[in-house]
Structure 1
């Protein structure tokens, strides 16, 4: 069934794909879905100073972008890397990839994060960290569609960390999406939009250990299916204090600053604060 849905969306031009995705998002908003409840709680938590009407507007826009993210998955996954690249209308900051330092791509769940590694791996090998899925069939489908050509996936466990470290030593790019709750192991509580959230420590540890250059990397989703704008921006996430807590707080601030530029394109339908916020209320 999942394969059929992915193929259905893969056949469409991007403009139609995003139009249908928008309708899916609008349905999620109008139907009082679980996604809407999670987004509502996150928007309330992160933007408490917005008027209720402004919060509702952001919730609707966010779910519409969520719908686009769902529909574009088939378009991105089942398309070739070169076809994906055709939809990148502009790339900002590619010169930062030329460095003698190891490079870590900090890729938040913002815009179309799936396309970043696929497009960049056309020119240089990249190893991306990912969280394995519980169901074996879904896991196999994910690996089949993500791990191709110069893009290698590393699971979020000890073997995966070793794979990332090996890629760094081979002067290859590594990519990490660090803005989800990884559980107590390998995390600290750090502020994100003014509320403590369990936050991954791996990225800052690798950056400090390897004296790596960190590039904030995101693909902004353009309106009306016009494609994506790819961005790479050097960021400093290593604090003067040198503590893990201070480093992670800096990393979260970098992500927060990006999210504030276009908050509807962030993944708000994930329970980011599940360690400290009651999502059932």
Structure 2
């Protein structure tokens, strides 16, 4: 059923695809879905200064973008990298990729993150680390569509870290999503919107060990299905100090700053604070 739905989404023009996705997002809001419940709690945690009316408005708009993210993923996954590139309206900061330093990409769950690695992989070799899904069928489906051409997907485990190191040695681009709960062994508690969140340490460790250039990378979703604006921006991990804890805190702050610029496009439906917060 899910595969049929995503196949349908893949044949819709992007403008129609996003209208369809917006309708799904509005339904998630109207019918009191779990996505709405989790998003509302996360928005309340992260934006306590907003009025209840403004929080509800942000949740509604965020769910509309969640719907668009769902439908556009079917489109992106089922098309070639070269066709994916056609959706890019503008690409800011691409010159940072010409730096002589090896580069790691920090890719938060904001905008159309599925597009980022595929656009780069159209002309460059890119290795992305991912967290496998619980459903083996869904995992196999996504892996088949993500792991192709110049784009290599590696799991977040010891074998994946070895592949990351090998890719670095070959001067390939490396990408990581920094705002997932990494579990008990892969993270430390670090401030995120003034609340402690279990945060991955791997990106900071690899960046420091290999003296890498760290670039924040995101694809802003443009209105009315016009496409996407890609952005690369340097990130300094040592702004708060020299320890691993300081660098992880800096990473979280950079992600937070980006979210504040376009909060409606962030994936608020993810239980980011599950290590310290009970989602009711």
TM bin, normalised by shorter chain, reads over 0.9
After superposing the two structures, state which structure 1 stretch, 112-121 or 180-189, moved more.
180-189
Matches within 5 A, 1:1-281: 1-239=1-239, 241-280=241-280
Deviations 1:224-266 (A, max 9, x none): 1110000011110134632111110000000000000010100
Structure 1: 4+ residue segments shifted above 4 A? none
2:90 and 2:203 map into 1 onto residues whose CA distance is 27
Q: Is the 8 A contact 1:36 1:269 kept in 2?
A: yes
Deviations 1:47-80 (A, max 9, x none): 0010000001001000000000011110010011
Q: How many equivalent residue pairs?
A: 280
Q: Is the 8 A contact 1:15 1:225 kept in 2?
A: yes
1:143 and 1:134 map into 2 onto residues whose CA distance is 13
Report the Cα offset of residue 132 of structure 1: 1.0
Q: Is the 8 A contact 1:191 1:252 kept in 2?
A: yes
Query: TM-score if structure 2 supplies the norm length?
Result: 0.99
2:61 and 2:6 map into 1 onto residues whose CA distance is 23
SS at match of 1:152: strand
SS at match of 1:91: strand
The alignment's C-alpha RMSD in Å is 0.8
Unaligned runs of 5+ residues in structure 1 are none
Report the Cα offset of residue 135 of structure 1: 2.2
SS at match of 2:105: strand
Q: Is the 8 A contact 1:108 1:178 kept in 2?
A: yes
Deviations 1:92-144 (A, max 9, x none): 00100012111000000000000000001111100000001222211111111
1:142 and 1:240 map into 2 onto residues whose CA distance is 37
Unaligned runs of 5+ residues in structure 2 are none
2:30 and 2:166 map into 1 onto residues whose CA distance is 47
SS at match of 1:211: coil
Q: Is the 8 A contact 2:240 2:249 kept in 1?
A: no
2:143 and 2:28 map into 1 onto residues whose CA distance is 28
Q: Is the 8 A contact 1:204 1:238 kept in 2?
A: no
